[in-house]
Amino acid sequence: MATVPSVSYSITVRLEVPAGGKAVSQLTHAVESAGGVVTALDVTNAGHEKLRIDVTCAARDTDHAQAIVDQLEAVEGVIIHKVSDRTFLMHLGGKIEMKSKVPLRNRDELSMAYTPGVARVSMAIARNKEDARRLTIKRNTVAVVTDGSAVLGLGNIGPEAALPVMEGKAALFKRFAGIDAWPICLDTQDVDEIVRTVQVIAPGFGGINLEDIGAPRCFEVERRLRELLDIPVFHDDQHGTAICVLAALANALRVVNKKMETVKITMAGAGAAGNAVLRLLLAAGARNVIVCDYLGAVHKGRDDLDDSLRWIAEHTNEEGYSGDLRGAVKDADVFVGVSAPGILTGDDIATMAKDPVVFALANPEPEVSPDDAREHAAVVATGRSDFPNQINNVLAFPGVFRGLLDAQAGEVTEQMLLAAAEALAAVVTPEELGPNYIIPSVFHPDVATAVAAAVRECAGGRARGFTEA
């Protein structure tokens, strides 16, 4: 639930009020008295006796929106006609579409775009499959694939319910990188079926973006697809998150004048995102890391380790700490949370080392209240848009795929991820860098182009290490 009114719960109330008197001015007062925020007030029909008005306002959640409507209805002379949820209106009929890039105005154009002319192009591709990248949408198209098992913070809600999210992802691909992406929502959570389905549809795409597939199934799906396909496979929940966290952390450490190689990092979350973040931090030079899941610190002495947790135990927590998260946070320089809401307090942050960095990325409710964390931390980042330093995957995946497609890359490598993170961090100039600006806005015009250029260069074999000058 949002703590302040948000456009995510924006409603438009169509109502009538008497043309004279104070009814119009009372509408704004009614919304504000209910704790909402009026963002627009439009007169849509004016008469001598009645005015029809659309009142648009932001609420905290669905119940709060209803409370605002009730408050408006209580104003003397107001008649409510219709209440529209603007978020639902945006989704009516879906958010994306396919349209032709070429005109089809006459028989000549039709004969080139389709039969008989298209047969010549098909035969050219049959002789050389690589021509598909040059002569079809393959060169600029990504499949956004999900099984609906781990959608946002909503859990296993299924492929149909995942579709609006995947549509949104496709819209972001287009908006920020000019990439044509298409949602592929699979009605199966069987690894073999997912892998086989993606394998057989792959010829029509230049890349595969895995999305919202639960751990540990996602690890095997990604591994097998990378072995089978000759196009890049990128799991955004893992690698997109990792790129953004590394970029933001590199800049945060510059703010507090600490080094990746020497800081103590405590992580909460050992799932898909946590695993990928850890691996990229280690690749970037981190040495002293403790990872905690819901049972406490991951260490070699635990008897419940699966393959993923065993890897974590073998590469972190050298001293074998076996306590809980609160103990692991004590004296840490950095906390990175990709786990669950409300698992730490401000008092826990107070036990960290001097000038700590706190990334509480659980969404929508972070691991620790950002306001409480700020009382003790030098830098705080969240996954939310209503606080500074939002860690948002849209900072990474459009540019990453733009670079991959431009380079006609066949795989995604760790060096590409490091290069993308370095480029993203560098978008924030030394003059701009500060506790409340360690990562650029998703609307910064240089983000996608900088990340794409770094990935494209790396795909050509000219990558730098993250820590190199």
The annotation places the binding site for (S)-malate at 363, 392
Active-site annotation holds for 50:
no
Q: Which of 9, 99, 101, 114 is catalytic?
A: 114
User: What does the alpha-carbon distance between residue 279 and residue 226 come to, in Å, rounded to a whole number?
Assistant: 18
437 SS3 class: strand
Show the 3-state SS of 126-195: HHCCCHHHHHCHHHHEEEEEECCCCECCCECCCHHHHHHHHHHHHHHHHHHHCCEEEEEECCCCCHHHHH
246 SS3 class: helix
User: What does the alpha-carbon distance between residue 330 and residue 328 come to, in Å, rounded to a whole number?
Assistant: 5
Residues within the annotated binding site? 211-212, 237, 363, 392
- Ranges of beta strands (E only) in 294-363 are 296-297, 334-337, 357-360
* Strand pairing category for 207-210 and 180-185: unpaired
Active-site annotation holds for 294:
no
Query: Which candidate, 333, 347, 336, places its Cα nearest to that of 376?
Result: 347
User: What does the alpha-carbon distance between residue 103 and residue 304 come to, in Å, rounded to a whole number?
Assistant: 61
Q: What are phi and psi of 75, to 5 degrees?
A: -70, 130
For residue 462, give Cα distances in angstroms to 196, 228, 457, 465, 468: 34, 26, 6, 10, 13
User: What does the alpha-carbon distance between residue 18 and residue 24 come to, in Å, rounded to a whole number?
Assistant: 8
Q: Which of 138, 169, 258, 264 is catalytic?
A: 169
Show the 3-state SS of 307-325: HHHHHHHHHCCCCCCCCCH
Helix axes 397-406, 414-426, angle to 10 degrees: 120
Q: What are phi and psi of 140, to 5 degrees?
A: -140, 25
Active site residues: 114, 169
